[in-house]
Structures are given as C-alpha cells and as structure tokens.
Copies of this chain bind each other. A is one copy, B any other.
Amino acid sequence: MTSMRFPKAADTKEMRRNHIIDTATRLIARNGLEGVSVRKVADMAGCSRGLVEHYFRNKAELVVEANRWVNTAYLERVSSLRKLSGLALLEGQLHNLLPFTDEILDEWRVRSIFFNRGSADQQIAKDSNDSFNQVYVEIWDALKYASAHGEIDPSVPVQEASELILLFVIGIAMACLLSERLRERRPLERRVNMILGMLKSGDLSALRVGDPSVEY
C-alpha cells in the first residue's frame, strides 16, 4: 500500500520550501509562536513532519525564515511601483505597508511577534532591523525626489520626516491589530492623507483631514 505523499513533484524544491514557510507564517500570524509546532505546520501544509525537518534543521530555523518571508513579501510588492516616484511613490508604498488587505494585516501580526522575539534572538533582531532599514531608505528616496521636485514643502527635513513616517506607520499597524474599526478603508486612507498633507504643506494643521475618529 503506497502512502500519500506531497503534491507530486513537478514543482521545484524551492516552491515546496516556500510553501512550508508560508504555512508557518500564517500559523504564527493567527496563533503566535506558541501556537505553531512542527506537526501543525506539516498538517496544514499537507505533508509530514519529516519533510519539514528535511528542509529546516529545526523549528528555530523555520521561524527565522518565516520572519524573512513577511519582510520580503512587502519588498516584492513595492518592486512593482518602480515606475513611480516622489509623493506618488510614497503613496504606493503606504498602500503596501498599511493593512489595507488581510495579507498585509497578517504580515503585521507576524511582525508584532518578532518585535518581542528580537529581544531574545539576535538573528531575528538583525533581520527585522535590516528590513525596516530598507523600508526607511526607500521612503527617504521617495521624499528626496519629492523635495527636489517641489512636491513637498521645502522646509521639511526629508530624513527626519522619513523616520517619522515609518514609525508612524508601525504605530498605525499595531493599533490596527487591536481595533477592527481602525483597519477599515476609510480610517486608513485618512492616515495616508494626514501624512501626504503634512508633507505638502509642511505644517501640522494639515493633520485635520476628513472626520476624526472620536475614539482611538
């Protein structure tokens, strides 16, 4: 009697490996690191523990890969914005960074876990840091272009503004994890407009866009 095996073999090893990482990522997003085990990952991925162990030396390595997975996911999405520049590029970046979709929301669910893990695991801290650094630089580039082409107020210091935007984005994403209302389209668009408005006018009065949410 032949036992069930993993989806045939036409697809490459790389794909199978990625499929396992993706499965682990989804599990981490929904249940945290406590809710993920080699067995659960294997079951959900439709394979055996042995296969997971074949591709990853141990659970820790799988977890590290899951962290990298969500970080590269964003970078791959924004690579499709290559044709944009300046504020239009920034707006595109924000739409791929803020939890406009369930996919992005899951990415932040995972990142929230690794914010904590970074304190105990140097590798994870480094990977996460590198990733955010990359995002930061990309935002900075967009702002430099925007500033050079008069799209934003010339008094705005682009580097510091880039920091502010990235940290603001992280805060928004974390808040969205706690409140379903905040992750609706309207409030998210409002945040984007707050950022764009501030940059264009160069002052905080531009924060007043649309109807403010009475509740945090």
A→B interface (CB under 8 Å): 29-34, 109-110, 112-113, 115-120, 125, 128-129, 132-133, 136-137, 153, 155-157, 159-161, 163-164, 166-172, 174-175, 177-179, 194, 198-199, 202-205, 207-209, 212-213, 215-216
Contacts and interface: CB of A to CB of B under 8 A. Distances in A.
B157 A168 contact: no
Dominant SS among interface residues on chain A? helix
Contact of A203 (B155, B166, B174, B178): B155
Given A136-B216, A172-B167, A155 B32 contact: no
List the number of copies, as a whole number.
2
Nearest 3 interchain pairs by C-beta: A167-B171, A170-B171, A203-B203
A109 B113 contact: no
A202 B199 contact: no
Given A166-B171, A170-B175, A204 B207 contact: no
A202 to B, nearest CB: 5
Contact of A128 (B115, B168, B178): B178
Contacts of A137: 216
B216 A163 contact: yes
